[in-house]
Structures are given as C-alpha cells and as structure tokens.
Amino acid sequence: MFRGHSVGKPPAAGFTLVEMLVALGVFAVIGVLSAQILTQMVDINERTRARADRLVDVQRAVEVMRRDIQQLAHRHVRDELGDPVPALDVNQVGLMRFTRRGWSNPLERRRSELQRVAYVLEGELLHRIFWPVLDRGADTQPVSQLLLDGVEAMEVSAVDVSGRRHAYWPLAGESTDDPERELAAFEVRLAVAPYGEIERLWAVPFSGVPREEDEAPGDEGEQEEDQDGDAGDGAFEETPIDAVS
C-alpha cells in the first residue's frame, strides 16, 4: 500500500507571480510603443496631406497668374467718365491691373474674349478680381475671387527689354518713348508659408505700342459694335480696383 504522492510523477508546472508580472510589463511596454507609433503615423499622414493640399493651392494660384500675364493685351479701357485708363497698371498698393486675352466663352455669349483683371493682397489673402466688361459704367460691379490665403508678402515688378525692374508701370516722362523701356516681362515674388519665397518671371506676349486692333474704340465704334452684335472690345466696360473693398 502506497502513501503520499505517487512515485515518479512530476509536480504540476506553471508561471510564478514574478514571471506573470514581467510578462504583463513587457506587453504593456509594447502596447504603449505601438500606440505612439500609430499616433505618429496618423499625424505624419495628416501633415503630409495638408502640405500636399497646400502645394496644390499654391501651384493653382501661380498657374492662374501665369495664364493671365502671358495673355496680356495692350488694350486701354475707359473709366465711368470716359477717360482712358492704361492697359497695364503696376503699383505696390493694388499690385497689378491689366487686360488679358483668352476669356473662355463656353456658352457663346455675345461678349469679348478680352477680360480686365486685377490682383490685390488684403492682409494675407490674395484676390483675383475681374470685371464683366472693359469700359466700365457707373453700375458695373467687379467679381472677387479668393486665389490664395496665407500670403505673407507679394511683390510685382515690370521688367523692360533692357532687364531693368520697375515697381510702377507705366513709366512717366520721357521713358515712355525710350525703346529700351518697353515692357518685356513680369516678375512676381510670393512669400507663402511653409514654402518661403516663390519667384516667377513670365514674358509678356508682345510689348511696345498697342496694336491697332487693341486700341480702345471711340464712341462711334462702340455704338456700331453694339448694334451689329459684335463681341468686340468696345462692348465691355471696366470697374476700378478701388471699388472693391
């Protein structure tokens, strides 16, 4: 007759309390590290997406400016009193205002392909403004488009054929008759977060004295175009940039 434990049978195996605590501690550390890595990955993904979206907005704004500038038309316009306004106006207050070609007309409306546009920086908001007509009337209202936000600074310079940069255009005095002072290009500098300063130089399609077809028509020409239904330059009016506030 045997008493006590069976001879040759090992005792039941298991984890001690210390081993369990060590294992739980290891799993806890792994869990914390995994959560931190996942959080960082999500944060990096959001920042990358935001930066990519920002880059798209900046590229779109620059492309809009390039398209407008490279389709510059030397077409003078008239104010509400009938006085001529320069085809191109560059200054450090309203930045720039000019007439461009290539205004698309998918609905085939009876209007010109020319469009009066302006760029204005208000705070850190860059606006593109256009007018539905060239030679404005008292009731002509401009349309403002928010082109880009977060613009810390913007500078526009007119570059003549000699390579000199001018903060204001048109030039005054005898410089207007100097062939070396004809407009050749636009230089645009943007300070945009987070990319810093962006500089672009775009040549204008032509310079010098406006071509005959680009001259502002007289009153008789405007009346004839209105009667004939021609989508010419004289059928449109322009509103000053100061009217947008």
pLDDT tens series, the chain, 245 aa: 445 555 556 666 677 888 888 888 888 888 888 888 888 888 888 888 888 899 999 999 999 999 999 999 888 888 777 778 888 888 877 688 998 988 887 777 777 888 899 999 999 999 999 988 888 877 888 889 999 999 999 999 999 888 888 888 888 765 556 667 788 899 999 999 888 899 999 998 765 444 434 444 444 444 333 434 333 333 333 333 343 33
**3-state SS track over 163-219:** CCEECCECCCHHHHHCHHHCEEEEEEEEEECCCEEEEEEEECCCCCCCCHHHCCCCH
pLDDT score for 121: 92
Half-sphere exposure of 218 (CA within 13 A, CB side): 1
Distance CA 98, CA 108 (A): 24
pLDDT score for 78: 82
Rg for the chain (alpha carbons), in Å? 33
pLDDT score for 233: 38
The residues, ordered by sequence, that sit 6+ positions from 243 with a Cβ below 8 Å of its Cβ are 141, 142
Q: Report residue 195 as tokens.
A: 């990319």
Distance CA 14, CA 141 (A): 86
pLDDT score for 171: 81
**Number of helical (H) and strand (E) elements in the chain, helices listed first:** 2, 12
pLDDT score for 3: 54
Distance CA 190, CA 54 (A): 14
- What letter would DSSP give residue 241? G
pLDDT score for 175: 56
Q: Which residue ranges make up each domain of the chain?
A: 64-243
CATH topology of domain 64-243: Pili subunits (3.10.610)
pLDDT score for 201: 93
* pLDDT per position as a tens digit, 165-176: 888 888 876 555
Q: Which residues on neighbouring strands pair with residue 33, listed in sequence order? A: none
210: left (phi over 0), alpha (psi -120 to 50) or beta: beta
Distance CA 176, CA 207 (A): 12
pLDDT score for 4: 53
Distance CA 204, CA 202 (A): 6
